[in-house]
Amino acid sequence: MDTANITILGIGGAGCRILRQISNTPGTENLRLLAFDSDTESLAESGLPKENCIIAGMNLRSGRGCGGNETLGRSAAAVERPHLARILEGTKLLLVIGGLGGGMCTGGLPVILGVSRHLHITTMLMLSLPFAMEGYGRRKQADERICSDLLPLADCVIALPNDLLFSTLPAETPLAHALELADQEMARTAIALSAILLAGNIFSADISNFSSMLKPHALCSIGVGVASASDPNAVEKALEKMMLSPLLGGPAELQKADAVAFTIIGGSKLSLGDAKAALDLASAQLDKSAERKILLGAGTSSEWDDILQITALSVHYTNKPVAAPVSPSAVARRRNSERKAAPEAEGSFVQQTLELDTVEKGIMDKTTPEFFNGEDLDIPTFKRRGMIIDPGK
């Protein structure tokens, strides 16, 4: 597969750190890695060549970071919109990695999503969320940002709470080492996602099938299980670790999924029969449902000679028709008209339904949305507020 087909873009300080871990991992030569930040020191930390680093808003920030200010992050990203469009041209799948909580990532993500949507690129977000100790308000803001600003534009959002990333580490783990291990976990998860499509020399998940599996918009979780290939029970151990992965949410979460993608990667000795048996065993963890979509992929690489990895991507659809909020006065008028039209037969009762119309944004449909207090400002005010315009007839 052409490297331009799959791009991993790290945004902000956390995204750049994770890119360094990804670039140092064997078997990632078929991925195109890009770093995007206003902070030149952060870009240097990614370890990527200069041509793979995009400095956001150099004239605005002079190479400095955004200091946790998402407004500065959005402004810095917005001026790079034409550059992003050029460099992402031809990409089929875009995986954006970063940490929510303010600054470049929080402010710049809507800009990146606007560009990828205009280019019709299937886009996945993998984002770490603030620690619980950072305060309920900070975490709540990140959750609201995902629901209001990101889910409407991204095909898939994988939200990884920092508390979950650190849950498997001993309490005495030095902080610097813990942060490095968390970055490694994010990097391994990103590589596992890419492997669903890249692991194709046995059989692969087609990128168009994968894209359609993610649509409509989805919230996803992912489990990764790794075992030594020399272990006679490698498949069972890898599968057990995958099912118990804290990032997957447990077997119950997998059972509730609307779609699941399984992939297995091993060394050159992994045969078609072994791969099929492993994927059959993984699929057997799900109850039989005709409505659930299942996608399978398997492949080998010389870098994985002593490693067997099984990955599950659990997909939960979240799309609902985008409807304009209806004002209380509009609801009252509609109820009055329904009462007049309702059958007058004594003792009869008809449950009335509220008709909500899907809002079309017209020429603003593929632009970067502007949100304020949870409202999309590209939707005319009278539609957002459910106002009824008297045509004067």
Is 294 a residue whose pLDDT tops 90?
A: no
Per-residue pLDDT, 357: 47
With residue 283 as reference, give the H or E element that holds it.
Answer: helix 272-283
Q: Which band of pLDDT confidence, cut at 50, 70 and 90, is reported for residue 384?
A: low
pLDDT tens sequence across 149-179: 788 888 888 888 777 777 767 777 787 787 7
304-325 residue pLDDT tens: 778 888 888 898 887 644 444 4
Does the 3-198 domain belong in CATH 3.40.50.1440? Answer: yes
CATH 3.40.50.1440 fits domain 211-317: yes
The answer to whether 100 touches 186, Cβ cutoff 8 Å, is no
pLDDT of 228-247, one tens digit each?
888 888 888 988 888 888 78
pLDDT reading at 365 higher than 90: no
Please state, in angstroms and as integers, the Cα–Cα distance from residue 387 to each residue in 324, 333, 370, 382, following that order: 10, 11, 21, 5
Confidence of residue 94 (pLDDT cuts 50, 70, 90): very high
Omega before 216 within 30 of 0, i.e. cis: yes
Residue-level pLDDT at 128 = 85
> Which residues have CB under 8 Å from 335's CB, separation 6+?
352
How much is the average pLDDT of 273-301? 80
Q: Please give the backbone phi and psi of residue 107, each rounded to the nearest 5 degrees, phi first.
A: -80, -35
> Helix (H, G, I), strand (E, B), or coil: what is residue 128?
strand
3-198 and 211-317 share one CATH topology? yes
Q: Is the pLDDT of residue 31 over 70?
A: yes
Tokens encoding 87 = 């460099």
pLDDT band for position 263 (cuts 50, 70, 90): confident
Can you give the pLDDT at residue 290? 61
Q: Which of 93, 91, 127 is nearest to 109 (CA)?
A: 127
Query: For the CA atoms of 312, 316, 319, 325, what is the dihedral angle to 10 degrees?
Result: -140
Exposure string of 243-274, with b = 16+ CB inside 10 Å and e = fewer, is bebbbbbeeeebeebbbbbbbbbbbeebeeeb
Long-range pairs for 144-147 at CB < 8 Å and ≥24 separation? 144/374, 145/100, 145/106, 146/100
Q: Could you report the per-residue pLDDT of 345-360, keeping only the tens digit for each?
A: 444 444 444 444 445 5
Cβ density class 343-379: b for 16+ within 10 Å, e for less? eeeeeeeeeeeeeeeebeeeeeeeebbeeeeeebebb
Dist CA 236 CA 43 (whole Å) = 40
Q: What is the mean pLDDT of the chain?
A: 78
Domain ranges in the chain? 3-198, 211-317, 328-384
